[in-house]
Amino acid sequence: MYLCAVKPNLTMKKILFVLVMLATLVFAGCKSSESSDEKAYSPFDSTSLDSTVSAGDDFFAWVNNKWLESNPIPADKASFGSFHTLDDNSLKTLRVSMEKASKENAAKGTNTQKVGDLWISGMDTLAIEKAGIEPIKPWLDKINAIGTSDDLIKTIAQMHRTYNFAMFTNWVGQDDKNSADVIMNMWQGGLGLPERDYYLAQDAQSKKIRTDYINHVKNVFVLMGVDEAKATTNANTIMTIETALAKASMDQVTMRNPNAIYHKMSVDELAKMTPNMNWKLYYTELQTPEFKTGVNVAQPEFYKALNGMVKSVKMDDWKTYLTYHWVDGVSPYLSSSFVSENFDFHSKKLNGIEQNKPRWKRVVESADFCLGEALGEEYVKTAFTPESKERMLVMVDNIKTAFGERIKTLDWMTDSTKEQALIKLSTFTVKIGYPDKWRDYSKLEIDNGPFVLNVIRGAEFEANRNYAKIGQPVDKTEWGMTPQTVNAYYNPSNNEIVFPAAILQPPFFDPKADDAVNYGGIGAVIGHEITHGFDDQGRMYDAKGNLQMWWKDKDNTNFVERANKVVEQFNNYCPLDSVCINGKLTLGENIADFGGITIAYQAYTMTEEFKAGKAIAGFTPQQRFFIGFGRIWAGQYRESAMRTQLLTNVHSPGKWRVNGTVVNIPEWYQAFGIKEGDKMYLPEADRAKIW
């Protein structure tokens, strides 16, 4: 349920703006895996196209079918795509660093010692088996000793300090309405299933997942030595508590509106709203600095309901609930019976993954969480060159220029809003590769003792680091992702776009490839992140990163009308028989994909290569650009993983990120001569046009 899942250095808000979510927010779904030997890659290979499908009938299939055939989903993955191949490479590189560090006998307290000892403790399966649940006993005793509601909130704070978010969630980030101020955000949470609707939906599949979940909770108690009958009662108790929390939770679509989740108040006001909860005690135990400007309570209704539950739910039931969440959260780092049970539910039942990743990958991932930038420092020495950064900077500049040109010519926006949009565009900052300043891990203690305790200390270190930011000036040099992460993000509060070193590889970016492939790949990614500043959420933030409307009413109406067309289009794409894409949930990402490819294309037309118009292997620059775009989303899902993705993820599945986007691009029709009668053909009146 935690750790590798919601990476704490990546705030919830930023998560909404990342390029891709490789997995659902459960531990074992956390990306990566074995196999997938590096396939030979060539920048543009026309023989990889599937001649049995036409570009106009199914563009994604035409571009990717052959790749999909030769890249089946490995047994330890829920889905597999080009991202995962890069991710695997990243993990292999990190493994080499870790193994090397483990043999170096480095001085105590150095990063090398910590990286090496984490490897040793994680790979020492004999010690892990022998210890069983023993290392976490003190925590279980603490939960058992709860007597009063003050004890309860104190224990919850202690769990939250390790990123085990039972009952509710918090995170530290910039104030949406004053980006210079770093504040505490209180968020709904406390669920063991991925999302609120999993508790409330009445379809057969949802009911089955609930039955599986109850069974899983029961199994966890049995593993702890509780008898079957009591374990079953416990599981039902937890289901009752979580269903009540789910009912009080805000739905995902509503939460996409930044104003709907902005309710700043003082701690006194929060205490008045929820008198059964001792917030002063909670924050003292959390060891946060004093809040000078208040806290944002994102979902007040959730907290009001929780306030009632603190009294109405029996204390013993809360203790049962906390026990489960504590053990389930750390299960991946315990002995094999806990690891297997955790995998069986969170990965197999929820996502269809057949077998767990090899241990070394799980250990590398935990190191990526605990010591991410220490590993990153080593990673970039082998995986990043200054030349790549130079070429990226040129592309970012060109794409920004192209976006500016498009804004100026929009026929649906008034001049004064255009002026504001151009100001915002001009203030974008960009980070490429890795941070200028590396994180200081000197206060984190890692030894070759129990693996689970290392991971818990790693989580506490992260929590401390984040809580300490409250009330301090914003550190604009900070990165929300490690350099070895295959992803990218936009942070609206800083109006910045960030591209870690690991995404600067084929098929996204290839210094040896022609411009078409790079603009269609990483260019579309750059465009995607820039467009996030102007999608249905991002556009609500001004150039300074504050949630403040800078749009004229008329322009606002025009935007919403245009965005609604995208919502309708995606609502009609149904990857599974019974589940369609949620057009509203995925709107921001779909707009970003659409805007991204549009401006990347425009930037590409400004290059010498495009102007020369030379064909390669019989394909025009225009065609190679779109093929390059289609290729970055090569990938496939297991059915249950697809279902989880559709219900919980703000990103559309890869196939629709390609096909759902190109059908709105006039140049795509031109490039491949798509006409009426082709299956993907949309009459001009039905196409969306935003940026």
Binding site for Zn ion (CB under 5 A): 19, 589, 592
Work out how close the CB of 528 gets to Zn ion at its nearest, in angstroms, rounded to a whole number: 6
CB of 634 to Zn ion, least distance (A): 18
Pick 417 or 494: Cβ nearer Zn ion: 494
* CB count in 10 Å sphere of residue 177: 16
| Main-chain dihedrals φ then ψ at residue 658, nearest 5 degrees | -90, -65
Residue 392 or residue 497: which is nearer to Zn ion going by CB? Answer: 497
| Integer CA distances (angstroms), 623 to 393, 629, 668, in order | 24, 10, 8
The total of other beta-carbon atoms located within 10 Å of residue 31's CB is 24
The answer to whether 352 and 641 have CB atoms below 8 angstroms apart is yes
Residue 531 C-beta: closest distance to Zn ion, Å? 8
Nearest residue to 9 (alpha-carbon basis) of 508, 551, 480, 548? 480
- What is the torsional sign of CA 459, 465, 470, 475? negative
Query: Given the complex with Zn ion, which of 310 and 497 has the nearer CB atom?
Result: 497
172, 469 contact by CB (below 8 A): yes
DSSP code for 652: P
Output the 3-class SS for 236-303: HHHHHHHHHHHHCCCCHHHHCCHHHHCCEECHHHHHHHCCCCCHHHHHHHHCCCCCCCCEEECCHHHH
Q: Which is nearer to Zn ion, 263 or 424 (CB)?
A: 424
**For residue 111, what are its two tokens?**
């990063």
User: What's the min distance (Å) between Cβ of 409 and Zn ion?
Assistant: 25
Is 487 or 505 the residue whose CB approaches Zn ion more closely?
487
- In angstroms, give the least distance from the CB of 541 to Zn ion: 15
Q: Kindly tell me which of 87 and 529 has the beta carbon lying closer to Zn ion.
A: 529
Per the listing, tokens 């004064």 go with 416
CB closer to Zn ion, 216 vs 651: 651
Distance of closest approach, residue 264 Cβ to Zn ion, in angstroms: 26
Residue 489 CB coordination number (10 Å): 23
Residue 154 or residue 584: which is nearer to Zn ion going by CB?
584
Q: Give 19 or 452: the residue with its C-beta nearer to Zn ion.
A: 19
Give me 46's structure tokens: 């026309």
Query: Which residue lies nearer to Zn ion by CB, 533 or 628?
Result: 533
Give 156 or 592: the residue with its C-beta nearer to Zn ion: 592
Place of tokens 């590993």: 375
686 secondary structure, DSSP code? G
SS3 456: helix
CB 36 within 8 A of CB 74: yes
Residue 61, both tokens: 């299939």
CB of 133 to Zn ion, least distance (A): 40
CB of 311 to Zn ion, least distance (A): 41
CB of 625 to Zn ion, least distance (A): 20
CB of residue 537 to Zn ion, shortest distance in Å: 10
Backbone angles phi, psi at 248, to 5 degrees: -85, -5
List own/partner pairs for 566-569 with CB under 8 A and 24 or more apart: 566/590, 566/591, 566/594, 566/664, 566/688, 566/690, 569/660, 569/663, 569/664, 569/688
CB of 20 to Zn ion, least distance (A): 7
